[in-house]
Structure 1
C-alpha cells in the first residue's frame, strides 16, 4: 500500500470517528443561551418521554391573519428535543384564497400536502419559477435558501406539513421584511421601484406607517 492510499484511509477513518455519536440525545435547555451549534443539553437525569413528544400540531388552526394562513412551528424553540438533530417541522394551514407568502430559510424544505389543493413553487437564482399544482399526498422540495411560496387554489382549507434539515432553519417573509419593519419608506421605494403611494399603502396594512 502506497503512502497516498494509506493517508486516504487514515483520513476517512479519522473523519468517521470524529463524527461518531457521543450522546443518545441532547434535549435543549432553553433556559440557557443558544450557541452557534444549538442549545446546551438538558441534564439527562431530568429528561422524560414527554420531552420527545410535541403536541403543537393538534386541533384546528384559525386562518385569520393578513395572508389567511396559520403557520405552527415545530422548530427547536418549540420542540427542544430537536436540538442537535438537524431537523424541524411546521404545519401550514391556508384558508380559501390564502397564501404562504414568498419567504426563505437557511435550509432546504420538503412539503407534503394532506388536505386541499395548492400551488407551490420556488424561484431559483436565475429568476426561473418552478411551480406546480399539488393534490393530497403530493410532495415537493424547496432547495436551500430559495424563495418559495404556497397558494390555496381550492374551495376548502388546505393543510400541509413541512420538514426542514435544521433545528433552527430561520424564517424570513419577504413582504413583511420590506413593509412591516423599520426600513424607511424612501429606501423601500428605491429598492423595489414601487411608488410612494403603494409603499405607504403596504406599510399601513402592516401598521408601520
Structure 2
C-alpha cells in the first residue's frame, strides 16, 4: 500500500472516501467568551475535516462577548478572509500597508459581509450590548494567524526591550510591563 501525503497531510484514496470525511458538526454551539479579549474563534480547517486538504478553503466561527468582545488585531499570511455577521454589531477594520497606512473601517450588522485582504492587519470589535456571532471563510486550508500583540510582546524568549522601546517610541517600563502580561490566544 502506497501512502500519499500532500501538504504534510495523508490523502485518503478517493475510492475509500465517505460522508464523514467531509463533515463537521457542532458549529451551532456558542463558545465561551469569558476570557481577557472577550471572544473565541472556532476553526474548521484541515485539522477538523481531513478532506479539506488541497481544497484551499477553511471556515471559522467567532463568538464575541457583549460590548467589548474583540477578535484582536491579527493577520493571515496565506489567505483573504470574508466575514459575515449573523448576530450583533461589529466594528471592523484593516490597515492597507506601510506605504500609505490607510485605515479602512465599517460597522457591520446581521447579514453584512466584509472582506479582509490577504496579509493585512485587521480586527473585529463588538460595539453592541448583546453577544455577536460571525462566520468567516478563508481561501486557504491553512491560512495561518499572526496575532500582533502576542508576537510583539509575548514572544519566547522576549524581544529585547530596548528594541521595542525604540521601535514603538515607548518608555522602557511600559514595554517591560507589556512583556509581562499574559497575551490571550482566542483560537
- Sort the TM-score into its range (normalised by shorter chain): 0.7 to 0.9
Task: Please report the RMSD computed on the Cα atoms of aligned residues, expressed in angstroms.
Answer: 2.0
Counterpart residue number, 2:72 = 101
Deviation at 1:195, TM superposition (A): 1.9
For 1:188 and 1:165, how far apart are their aligned partners in 2?
33
Name the TM-score, length of structure 2 as normaliser: 0.85
CA shift in 2, pair 1:39/1:205, >3 Å: same
Q: Give the Cα–Cα distance (whole angstroms) in 2 for the partners of residues 133 and 38 of structure 1.
A: 39
Equivalent of 1:191 in 157, 161, 167 = 167
> What is the total number of aligned residue pairs between the two structures?
175
Offset, 1:46: 4.5
CA 1:180–1:196 in 2, change beyond 3 Å: closer, same or farther?
same
Structure 2 residues without counterparts, runs of 5 or longer: none
Q: 1:119 aligns with which of 82, 86, 91?
A: 91
Q: Is the alpha carbon distance of 1:132 and 1:62 closer, same or farther for their aligned partners in structure 2, counting shifts above 3 Å?
A: same
Per-residue CA distance 1:127-172 (angstroms, 9 max, x = gap): 0111010000000011111111100000011110000001000000
1:59 partnered with 2:35: no
Structure 1 segments unaligned to the other structure (5+ residues): 1-28
Please state whether the residue corresponding to 2:9 is helix, strand or coil. coil
Say which SS state the counterpart of residue 189 (structure 1) adopts.
Answer: helix
Indicate the residue corresponding to 1:110 in structure 2: 82
CA distance in 1, matches of 2:168, 2:86: 36
How far apart are residue 124 of structure 1 and its match? 0.2
Q: Find the aligned partners of 1:137 and 1:67 in 2 and give their Cα distance.
A: 24
